[in-house]
Amino acid sequence: EETGKSGYDHFMLKEIHEQPRALRQCFRGRVDELSGTVDLADLGDLSPRGVQLVACGTSYHAAVYAAQLFQQAGIPAQAFLASEYATSPPPIGDALVIGVTQSGETADTLSALREARKRGARTLAVTNTVGSTVARECDHAMYIRAGPEIGVAATKTFSSQIAALNLLALAITSVGDAREVISGLRDLPGAVQEILDTSTAQEIAETYRDAESYFFIGRGLHYPVALEGALKMKEITYKHAEGFAAGELKHGPLALVTSDTPVFAVVTGDDEMATKTVGNVKEVEARDAPVVAVTDGASDVERYADHVLEVPDTHRRVAAVVANVQLQLVAYHTADMLGRSIDKPRNLAKSVTVE
């Protein structure tokens, strides 16, 4: 197993570093920059009137992100936790039901898709695993092409799921700014590489390694990043961590915020959304919480932050992925300093084949 790590201490760190390559692999042959189009012809004509995404864990966070892309393109879309979907199935109508699953074997996701199919839905698998159960059972399959992921905590596959779902959204919707999105996506592998080369996440991890609880906040596309940042922290450090929609903070979680609870705030751009999140950051700063801003520096969030984790100035869709890489590194280094079993965290499995 040691040899498989290519000199990295853990598979997780290796896989974090494989992200630029995995992303390029996902885009290869699927994007025509000149015409500003995406070619996923092998999927056939999907043209859905609505989209329902079902997934678990990290894949669910990619689904929450993707639902926003479809909505922005005018297609009603919703992300569901697969285990809840089967319990209380929503009306399907003409929706395409998309299962997002790295392994393609997660029982909860398979059973949600089976339920959808039973009720007449067309299904699409977005998966990393060729020949997996999900790929065999769904009407269509799109591969994220991230390569094998050994670390139990998903890293590169999350980024590649987001890349693939961006392509899918471009292919089946007619968004006005397709060219702009495509050029943003082209910058993604390089932007991730820049973070891998320059990140100060290790220092942040050192500073806050003794905290007992961590919060992550974000809005819009940065909301699933907050969820994912917290999940990564929980999975591999065994510390309490929660991700919140930035606007929800004041509706409860703010009661937990003290000088002992570092808050990671993902804020990029300087639009109204950013301004609102900066407002939420001020609220936690006023309660003496240490603030780590994950930002491109466009807003004035740095004024209220104790530390900054930089994100290059890129398209918002891309910034979310890059910001997430910073949070992957914070979780990794915190767990490493605490001596945790990073690649095989206690109680967790890479693929959960029971409901």
Name the minimum Å distance from CB 109 to ligand G6P: 5
Q: Which is nearer to ligand G6P, 108 or 296 (CB)?
A: 108
Q: Which is nearer to ligand G6P, 231 or 301 (CB)?
A: 231
Which of 207, 213, 275, 351 contacts ligand G6P by CB under 6 A?
351
* Single-letter amino acid code for the residue at 85: Y
The encoded tokens of residue 164 equal 């693939």
Pairing type for strands 31-32 and 37-38 reads: antiparallel
324 lies in the binding site for ligand G6P (CB under 6 A): no
- CA–CA distance, 348 with 351 (Å, rounded to integer): 9
Cβ-based neighbours of 89, under 8 Å, separated by 6 or more: 115, 116, 119
The encoded tokens of residue 275 equal 């301004």
Judged by CB under 6 A, the stretch of 55-63, 261-269, 311-319, 333-341 that binds ligand G6P is 55-63
The 2-41 site mask, x for binding ligand G6P (CB under 6 A), equals ----------------------------------------
Judged by CB under 6 A, the stretch of 33-41, 44-52, 148-156, 329-337 that binds ligand G6P is 148-156
Name the minimum Å distance from CB 61 to ligand G6P: 8
CB atoms within 10 A of CB 25: 18
Give, in degrees to the nearest 5, the angle at Cα 269 between 268 and 272.
110
154 lies in the binding site for ligand G6P (CB under 6 A): yes
Q: Which is nearer to ligand G6P, 150 or 348 (CB)?
A: 348
Q: DSSP 3-state assignment of 93?
A: coil
- CA–CA distance, 213 with 239 (Å, rounded to integer): 6
Q: DSSP 3-state assignment of 119?
A: coil
Name the minimum Å distance from CB 104 to ligand G6P: 7
* Single-letter amino acid code for the residue at 235: E
Which of 56, 135, 146, 311 contacts ligand G6P by CB under 6 A?
56
Check if the beta carbon of residue 102 is closer than 8 Å to that of residue 157.
Answer: yes
Residues 91-120 binding ligand G6P (CB under 6 A) are 101-103, 106, 109
Active site residue 350: yes
Judged by CB under 6 A, the stretch of 118-126, 180-188, 298-306, 344-352 that binds ligand G6P is 344-352
Name the minimum Å distance from CB 157 to ligand G6P: 7
Cβ-based neighbours of 283, under 8 Å, separated by 6 or more: 249, 250, 254
Return the H-helix or E-strand segment holding 327.
Answer: helix 316-337
Residue number of the CB atom closest to ligand G6P: 57
The 59-78 site mask, x for binding ligand G6P (CB under 6 A), equals x-------------------
Residues serving a catalytic function are 350
